[in-house]
Chain A
Amino acid sequence: MTTIERPRYQVIGTRPIRPDGVEKVTGRALYGADVRLPGTIYGRVLRSPHAHARILRIDTSAAERMPGVLAVVTHRDLPAVADGIQNLGETAVNVRELAANLLADDKVLYHGHAVAAVAAVSPHLAEEALGAITVEYEVLPPVLDVREAMREDAPLLDESRRTKNIAGQVVGERPSNIAMHHRFEAGDVEAAFAKASVVIEREFRTKMVHQGYIEPQNATAVWNQDGTVTIWTSTQGAFAVRGQVAELLRLPVSKVRVVPMEIGGGFGGKIPVYLEPLAALLSRKAGGRPVKMTMSRTEVFQATGPTSGTWIRVKAGADAEGRLLAVEAELCYEAGAFPGSSVNAGAMCMLAPYDVENFRIDTYDVVVNKPKTAAYRAPGAPAAAFAMESVVDELCRALKMDPLAFRLKNSSREGTRQVSGVPFPRIGHEECVRAAMESDHYRSPIEGPNRGRGVASGFWFNGGMQSTVLVAVNPDGTVNLIEGNTDIGGTRASLAMQLAEALGIPYEDVKPFVADTDSIGHNDVTGGSRTTFATGLAVYEAAMDIRRQMVARAARILNLPEEDLEYVDGGVQSKSDPSKRIGFKEIARQQARTGGPITGKASLVARGVGPAFSTQIVDVEVDPETGKVTILRYTVVQDAGRAIHPSYVEGQMQGGVAQGIGWALHEEYCYDEQGHLLNANFLDYRIPTALDLPPIETVIVEVPNPAHPFGVRGVGEVSIVPPLAAIANAIYDAIGVRFTDLPISPRRIVEALYGGKEG
Chain B
Amino acid sequence: MPTVRLPALFRERCGGATAVTVEGSTLGEVLLALDRRCPGIFELLVEGGSIRPELAVAIDGETGSYLLDEPVPPGAEIAILPAIAGG
Contact = CB atoms under 8 A, between A and B. Distances in A.
B53 A183 contact: no
A2 interface: no
Interface string A602-636: 00010111000000000000000000000000000
**Which 7 residue pairs spanning A and B have beta carbons closest together?**
A528-B86, A268-B87, A92-B53, A375-B87, A185-B8, A421-B5, A420-B81
A637 B2 CA distance: 38
Contacts of B83: 91-92
A421 B85 contact: no
Contact of A461 (B5, B9, B62, B84): B84
B55 A166 contact: yes
Q: Size class of B's contact patch?
A: 20 to 34
A165 interface: yes
Nearest to B53: A92
B56 to A, nearest CB: 9
Interface in B1-58: 5, 7-10, 18-19, 44-45, 47, 52-55, 58
A512 to B, nearest CB: 22
B68 interface: no
Contacts of A254: none
30 contacts: A85-B52, A85-B53, A91-B83, A91-B85, A165-B9, A166-B7, A166-B55, A167-B10, A168-B47, A168-B52, A168-B54, A169-B44, A171-B9, A183-B9, A266-B87, A271-B85, A342-B85, A376-B87, A379-B84, A379-B85, A379-B87, A380-B84, A420-B79, A422-B58, A424-B61, A425-B61, A461-B86, A605-B65, A607-B62, A607-B64
A460 B86 CA distance: 9
B86 A85 contact: no
A603 B52 CA distance: 24
Contacts of B62: 607-608
A375 B85 CA distance: 7
Interface of A: 85-87, 90-92, 165-169, 171, 181-186, 211, 266-269, 271, 342, 344-345, 348, 360, 375-380, 420-425, 460-464, 527-530, 605, 607-609, 717
Given A168-B52, A184-B8, A421 B84 contact: no
A379 B54 CA distance: 16
A376 B85 CA distance: 10
A469 to B, nearest CB: 20
Given A85-B54, A184-B8, A608-B62, 9 more contacts: A167-B10, A167-B45, A168-B52, A268-B86, A378-B86, A420-B81, A425-B61, A461-B86, A462-B86
Nearest to B41: A167
A460 B63 CA distance: 14
B85 A90 contact: yes
A530 B87 contact: no
A267 B86 CA distance: 9
Nearest to A466: B65
Nearest to B6: A421
A605 B64 contact: yes
Interface string B59-78: 00111110000000000010
A377 B87 contact: yes
Given A92-B53, A420-B58, A422-B63, A267 B87 contact: yes
Contacts of B81: 348, 420-422
A527 B44 contact: no
Contacts of A185: 8
Contacts of B54: 85, 92, 166-168
A91 B52 CA distance: 12
A414 to B, nearest CB: 10
Contact of B79 (A167, A380, A422, A462): A422
A453 B52 CA distance: 46
A181 B6 CA distance: 16
Given A92-B53, A421-B79, A422-B81, A182 B9 contact: yes
A717 B44 contact: no
Contacts of B44: 167, 169
B60 to A, nearest CB: 9
Contacts of A86: 53
Contacts of A85: 52-54
A422 B7 CA distance: 11
Contact of A375 (B9, B47, B77, B86): B86
Contact of A717 (B9, B55, B86): B86
Given A167-B54, A348-B81, A422-B58, A717 B87 contact: yes
A423 B58 CA distance: 10
A717 B18 CA distance: 32
Nearest to A165: B9
A334 B15 CA distance: 33
A169 B12 CA distance: 15
Among B7, B83, B84, B86, max chain A CB count under 10 A is at: B86
Nearest to A415: B61
Given A420-B58, A607-B64, A167 B52 contact: yes
Identify which of B8, B62, B64, B79 gathers the most chain A CB atoms within 10 Å of its CB: B8
Given A85-B53, A423-B61, A528 B82 contact: no
